[in-house]
Every structure is written in C-alpha cells, then in structure tokens.
Structure 1
Amino acid sequence: MTATHPLTMEIQLVMLPVTDVDRAKEFYTRIGFHADHDASPFPDMRYVQLTPPGSACSIAIGRNITSAAPGSVEGMLVVVQDVQAAYEMLLSAGVEATPVKDEGWGLFTYFADPDGNRWAVQQLPVG
C-alpha cells in the first residue's frame, strides 16, 4: 500500500552527553531553557528534558541515557531574532560567548556548556 501523504519527520529530542547532570541542568535553565522533565525511571538512570524558549525540539541530559562521550557534541544551533541580545544574555548569565560575527549567512555567537558541548546562536539574514 502506498502512502497518500508524504512522510513527515520531526526532530523533537537531541541527547547531550554530560558528566554532572545537576550542573548541566543548572547551566541550561540559567540560559533560559525550561526544565520539562526530571525523572529516574530506573535506579541507575536519570533523564532530564530541557527546551529552549519557543522551540519544538528539546535536549535531554542525564545518567545512562547515551553512550556518547561528555562534551562530544558540536554544531548544536539555535536561531534567534536578535543575536546581540542573546550574546548579552549569555554574558550576563556568566557564559563565555564569542563576540557577534557576521558569517555571511547570518550573525553568530558561539558558546559551550560546562562539559564542552558546543552551540551556535544564529540570527538569520534579512531578505
């Protein structure tokens, strides 16, 4: 049987490997992520889901939720309306972020979480 509608796929969750779940949760909530869920469904597991404001995709941090090495994620990207305001918010939250730079396909600032997972913050070009 053939589908009458094209298959849709939504990225809803990305795992970020961290060493200290409480430290990472504090970091992400400090920069505005909402803590949606924090549970230990099994004695050796902890699962914390956090969502950036306005995002349909969340991140998950925890204990025994991924075998990836802490700090190994590169290229996580969030898009904002005002990258300068995002940069200033990061700095005021005590996060080291790069000065805003025009990369030609948008304005960017970059930062990393306490484990070294690296993020890009982009303001899309106008027009």
Structure 2
Amino acid sequence: MDLKLEVVILPVSDVDRAKAFYETAGFRLDLDAAPSDEWRSVHLTPPGSECSIMFGTGLTNAAPGSTQGLYLVVSDIEGARAELVARGIEVSEVFHDAGGILYHGHEAGDTTHGLAGQERIAGPHPDRASYGSYATFSDPDGNGWVLQEVTQRAPGR
C-alpha cells in the first residue's frame, strides 16, 4: 500500500497576506476557491514538491502560527537560502546542529537552541553531511519552516 502525504493545512490569520507570502516564496498557486463567506481554500505547492499546503477560512480551529517543523528538502542549502532572501523572505543564516543530524527547534525564529540540548552552530555541517545543514524561516503568522540540505538520500528513500 502506498500512502502519500498530499496536503498540510496551515492555520493563518489573514488568508490574503499568507497567499502573497507563499507566492513570493515561489510556491505555485493551485487553487483559490471561496464558494461562501464561511469557507475559502487556498492551495499552494512548493517548487518540486508533491505535497502542498492549504489554508483559508473554515478549514481548521488551530491557532494561527501553531504549525512548526515543516521541512523543505533542498540540494543546495546556501543557494536555496539566497533565492528566498532575494525574494524578500527573512531566512536564518545556514547552521548545523552540534549534537546530531535532525534539528528540531522550538520555533523557526529560535537562533540558539532547539530541544533536548540541541545547539545551532553557524555555517553548514563541517563535512557537508547530507541531512546535516539547515536554515529556518516563518510565514507572517509564525508557522515555522526548516530548509534541510539533502545531497544523498538515506537507503530506501
């Protein structure tokens, strides 16, 4: 059985502001439908991704900005960061984690520590290990994204 993650719903406070942010970040607009005043769905897809995001009116009761740890895998962390910055997106500097290969900070804006004693070290992983370099950004509501550099997939991926 194949199970493919297709859509992640993001809680946002201002649908038009979120839509503009994600379009600026380079996400493709797939749908913007509002069949009533109580329901609107905006569906966007990151470049190269098979999984999309959706937000709108009447889709979730989650607090705006409460979604954290959304990973976008990139083959060139510095290039991806530079492209987002050139598009006007505020992105952290590239970093790696002192204690491991999976960074899971509290928030995208957290520039020093993650969970369980993890610590951000400036710059990419010293060996440029696949899965080892990161940068973070947030949407206008604070939903947190992590760029992760993957140059060689783990077996079975």
If the length of structure 1 is used for normalisation, what is the TM-score? 0.89
Query: Identity of paired residues, percent?
Result: 45
State the alpha-carbon separation in 2 of the partners of residues 88 and 78 from structure 1: 15
Name the SS of the counterpart of 1:25 in structure 2: helix
State the alpha-carbon separation in 2 of the partners of residues 90 and 8 from structure 1: 32
**Partner residue, 2:19:** 25
State the alpha-carbon separation in 2 of the partners of residues 124 and 106 from structure 1: 8
From 63, 75, 78, the counterpart of 2:72 = 78
> In the alignment, is residue 123 of structure 1 matched against residue 149 of structure 2?
yes
1:38-57 paired onto structure 2 within 5 Å: 38-57=32-51
Contact persistence 2:10–2:143 (CA under 8 A)? yes
Name the SS of the counterpart of 2:31 in structure 1: strand
Contact persistence 1:80–1:86 (CA under 8 A)? yes
Would you identify which runs of 4 or more consecutive aligned residues in structure 1 move more than 6 Å? none
Name the SS of the counterpart of 1:78 in structure 2: strand
State the alpha-carbon separation in 2 of the partners of residues 101 and 126 from structure 1: 18
Name the SS of the counterpart of 2:36 in structure 1: coil
Question: Which segment drifts farther, 100-109 or 25-34?
Answer: 100-109
In the TM superposition, what is the alpha-carbon distance from 1:31 to its structure 2 partner?
0.8
State the alpha-carbon separation in 2 of the partners of residues 125 and 102 from structure 1: 15
Aligned length: 121
Unaligned regions of 5+ residues in structure 2, if any?
Answer: 102-130
Contact persistence 1:31–1:90 (CA under 8 A)? yes
State the alpha-carbon separation in 2 of the partners of residues 48 and 92 from structure 1: 24
From 95, 100, 113, the counterpart of 1:101 = 95
